């Protein structure tokens, strides 16, 4: 219900919104620049949005008072990042033979292992 929502500090709302908007803008402009090279980078650097995302994300973490831990989301992100690492390893390393499979599996599991070590 809208009228029973928890009130948030204005600085938390502003920093969260600016983080999400700048991160989404960075990803979309970067993707547009990959699809059509020079479409964005000819006029300005897309890394300006990344810098804004880092600053506003740091501010958001600094002013945030309540943190809700979402273990399922953390595990999903770790597995997704592991899959991306494994795919990059598989595609970029062709001359190592059978070690390609071992490196791919190791890099697939490494973000999950780091997450488990951090949580314990």
Which sign does the torsion angle of CA 21, 24, 30, 35 carry? Answer: negative
Q: Where are the domains of the chain?
A: 2-63, 71-119
Q: Give the pLDDT of residue 1.
A: 47
**C-alpha span between 44 and 24 (Å, rounded):** 16
Give this prediction's pTM.
Answer: 0.59
H helix intervals, the chain: 10-35, 47-63, 71-92, 99-119
The segments of the chain whose pLDDT lies below 70 read: 1-6, 67-68
């Amino acid at each position: 219900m809208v009228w029973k929502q928890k009130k948030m500090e204005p600085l938390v709302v502003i920093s969260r919104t600016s983080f999400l908007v700048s991160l989404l803008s960075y990803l979309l402009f970067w993707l547009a620049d990959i699809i059509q090279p020079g479409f964005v980078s000819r006029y300005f650097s897309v890394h300006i949005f990344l810098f804004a995302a880092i600053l506003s994300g740091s501010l958001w973490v600094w002013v945030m008072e309540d943190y809700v831990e979402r273990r399922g989301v953390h595990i999903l992100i770790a597995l997704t990042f592991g899959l991306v690492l494994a795919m990059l390893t598989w595609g970029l390393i062709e001359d190592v033979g059978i070690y390609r499979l071992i490196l791919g599996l190791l890099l697939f599991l490494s973000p999950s292992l780091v997450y488990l070590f951090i949580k314990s």
